[in-house]
Amino acid sequence: MHAVFAIARTTIGEAIRRRVLLVILLIALLLLVVAPGMNVLTARQSQTVLTSLILGVLQLSSAVIAIVLTVYMLPNEVERRTIYTILSKPVLRWQFLLGKYLGAVGALGLMMAMMTGTMILVFALVQRGASTDLLTGLARVPIMFFVQMCLLAAVAVFFSTFVQPVVNFFLSGGVYLVGTVFGSLFSTISENQNLPMVAKIGSNLIMWLVPNFAQYNVQNSVINQGSVIVSEQVYYAQMVIYGIVYISILLLAGMLIFDRREV
Partner 1 sequence: MRHKGRLKIGPTVGAMFGLLAAGATMQSLSLPFWREHYRPPSADLSNIAADQLLFAVAGFREMIAGILWVRADAYFNEGNYDAILPMIRVVTYLDPKQIDVYATGMWHIAYNFTDSESRADRRNIPIAVAFGKEGAKNNPHTYELFYETGWLWYHRIQDDFPNAVYWFDEAAKREDMLPARKNLLAHARLRNNDADGALKTFYQFYRDAETLYEKDKQRGSFANLQTIEGNLDNLLVRMSQRGFFAQKNGTYESGDYDTKPPYDVKFSVRVSVIEPRVLEVDGTWNVYPVGTRVKCILRDADYPGGREAGLEWDSGDANDFSAPRDRTYMQDELFVRNLQFRRTINMSRDPTIYPFRGDKYYLDFFYTPRIAPEHLKDKYGWNGEGFTDSNFLRTDVREGQRVVFYRMELTRDQLLRRREFAMEGGIIPTFKTDNYVPPTSRSGSSSVLTPAGEPEQTPAPGQ
Write out the residues near partner 1 by the rule CB under 8 A. Answer: 38, 40-42, 44-45, 48-50, 52-53, 55-57, 59-60, 87, 92-94, 176-177, 180-181, 183-188, 207-209, 211-215, 217-221, 223-224, 226-229, 232, 235, 238-239, 241-242, 245-246, 248-249, 252-253, 255-256, 259-260, 262-263
Toward partner 1, which CB reaches closer, 22 or 189?
189
Long-range contacts of 173-176 (CB under 8 A, 24+ apart): 173/67, 175/210, 175/211, 176/63, 176/67, 176/152, 176/213
CA distances in angstroms from 55 to 14, 68, 123, 175, 194, listed in the order given: 27, 20, 11, 21, 38
Toward partner 1, which CB reaches closer, 82 or 238?
238
Toward partner 1, which CB reaches closer, 198 or 208?
208
Toward partner 1, which CB reaches closer, 12 or 171?
171
Toward partner 1, which CB reaches closer, 197 or 228?
228
Terminal C-alpha separation, the chain? 23
- What's the min distance (Å) between Cβ of 96 and partner 1? 11
Cβ contacts of 247 within 8 Å, gap of 6 or more: 150, 151, 154
Toward partner 1, which CB reaches closer, 15 or 67?
67
- What's the min distance (Å) between Cβ of 17 and partner 1? 29
CA distances in angstroms from 151 to 16, 79, 83, 190, listed in the order given: 20, 25, 24, 25
Toward partner 1, which CB reaches closer, 19 or 231?
231
- What's the min distance (Å) between Cβ of 42 and partner 1? 6
- What's the min distance (Å) between Cβ of 10 and partner 1? 20
Q: Residue ranges of the alpha helices (H) in the chain?
A: 2-17, 19-34, 43-71, 73-79, 82-87, 93-126, 132-160, 165-191, 197-209, 220-223, 232-259
- What DSSP letter does each residue of 203-214 carry, written as one string? HHHHHHHS---G
- What's the min distance (Å) between Cβ of 113 and partner 1? 21
- What's the min distance (Å) between Cβ of 241 and partner 1? 7
- What's the min distance (Å) between Cβ of 123 and partner 1? 14
